[in-house]
Amino acid sequence: MEDLVLKYLTNNINASELEILRKWLKKSNNKVVFEKYIRDAYLINSAYESIEVDAAYKKVYQKIKQQEKPVSSLLSKYTKYAAAASVALLVSFAAFLYYRTGTSTATSHDSIVHNTINIGTDKAVLTLEDGSNVVLENGKKYNSKDATSNGKEIIYDQKNKGQKEIVYNYLTIPRGGQYFIKLADGTQVWLNSESKLKFPVAFPEGKTRNVELVYGEAYFNVSPSTAHKGSKFEVLNINQKVEVVGTQFNIRAYRDETNIYTTLAEGQILINQNGHTQKMYPAQQSNLDLNSKSLLIRKVEVRNEISWKDGLFIFKEKPLKVIAKTLSRWYNVDVVIENKEIENITFKGVLSKNQKIEDILDIMKSTGAITDYRKNAHTILIK
């Protein structure tokens, strides 16, 4: 339920989800749970605990109870408390971000070139078995004997499951894009910006179902083996193999990063790397270091790792250099940190993927984490 609260707070909740949240809040015991979540999500300084929690809870509960649409002004009346706590909250449900470590003193505002940087959207390039490319994007439909697309997702037909010959397609997501695909076996895959998936048009019956995450990030909700005569599902990558029976997990394997992160949300998976296999359980994340070839597994907050597929970025103690790379991919702009001394400054925050990047940068500047930034249509230079 916390995910629905978070989606509400960041203006990413739909009508059916809002109704679920409203009914849930009618139960008196859930008020305590809700208050705790508000505290965890928004409270920065414990000295202001009663003010922040009570105010936030009262406003949110009132709005949900009235079944009003998500609004972007919940915290607008309470920024004075955040200021008193020496932090900066974005005065919006869309996002909030605050400065956690390191010190800096803001200087004079440099001039900014006002060029539009577009927010990412649903788009992809489908490469067919004959090598031809099909552009998939909002407002553009696509139909073939194997698949259909409404511009936001592509669905492969399951009627070809008895097909013996294995034919592969590729789905490539550019920077500034994302896309959803439902494979022929019913497996659902969310692909993040700058990602590429290789997959069969149809899965032969009785054989292991293989797909390849060539690079990038993807969240898999795998159709269980019980629905496919016991056939396992495997996600291949040049550096590792993930064996699945039926479960949900996220793989992050970008070409410009030296670590591959696999996060398990539900079920069990096996990580196979260099002939060594390790079993993973829910709320665990494996970290494969491509330099040392070592594989470590640790507990994580799954929501923080997979929020991107639900229209959110949740940063928990993430360094500025990691945030910059994430923003670069989603907004299709090169975010360059000029002052290398601030690269490892960490932040905690919740951001909406529908948020303008200028709003995010202004929050960083207001905290003193960065002194200023310059931007044009292709580059943002952080000082």
Nearest to 57 by CA among 91, 34, 85: 34
Rounded Cα distance between 42 and 65, Å, is: 21
Token pair 């609004």 is found at 71
Q: Which amino acid is at 116?
A: T
pLDDT mean over 268-287: 93
Strand partners, 294: none
CB 228 within 8 A of CB 210: no
b/e map 183-219, b = 16+ CB within 10 Å: bbbbbbbbbbbbbbbbbbbbbbeeeebbbbbbbbbbb
In angstroms, what CA-CA distances link 116 with 113, 174, 184, 333? 10, 18, 39, 11
Query: How confident is the model at residue 30, as a pLDDT?
Result: 77
The pLDDT score that the predictor gives to residue 88 is 29
Residue showing tokens 């960065």: 370
User: What are the φ and ψ backbone dihedral angles of 379, each rounded to 5 degrees?
Assistant: -140, 140
Contact 241, 279 (CB under 8 A): no
Confidence of residue 377 (pLDDT cuts 50, 70, 90): confident
Please calculate the CA angle 117-327-258 and round it to the nearest 5 degrees. Answer: 140
Q: Which residues contact 134 (CB under 8 A, 6 or more apart)?
A: 125, 126, 127, 128, 142
pLDDT-based confidence at residue 346 (cuts at 50, 70, 90): confident
Residue 37's H or E segment, with its range, is: helix 30-42
pLDDT at residue 49, as a whole number: 38
Query: Residue 341 — very low, low, confident or very high, per pLDDT cuts 50/70/90?
Result: confident
| pLDDT score at 40 | 57
CATH number corresponding to 121-300: 2.60.120.1440
Closest CA to 353 of 302, 309, 318, 320: 309
Higher pLDDT, 6 or 127: 127
pTM for this structure?
A: 0.77
Percent with pLDDT over 90 in the chain: 48
* H helix or E strand, kind and range, residue 98: strand 95-99
Q: Worst-scoring range by mean pLDDT, 63-67, 159-163, 281-285, 314-318?
A: 63-67
Q: Among candidates 60, 67, 91, 57, which has minimal Cα distance to 77?
A: 91
In the chain, domain spans:
2-93, 121-300, 311-382
The pLDDT score that the predictor gives to residue 110 is: 37
pLDDT digits (tens, 9 = 90+) for 292-340: 999 999 999 999 999 999 998 888 878 889 999 999 999 999 999 988 8
pLDDT at 7 over 70: no
**Please, which pLDDT band fits residue 81 given cuts at 50, 70 and 90?**
very low
324: number of CA atoms within 13 Å, CB side? 23
Mean pLDDT of 79-107: 33
282-294: average pLDDT: 95
| 122-173 tens-digit pLDDT | 999 999 999 999 999 988 999 999 999 999 999 999 776 656 688 999 999 9
Checking if the pLDDT of 73 tops 50, the result is no
In words, the CATH class of domain 311-382 is alpha beta
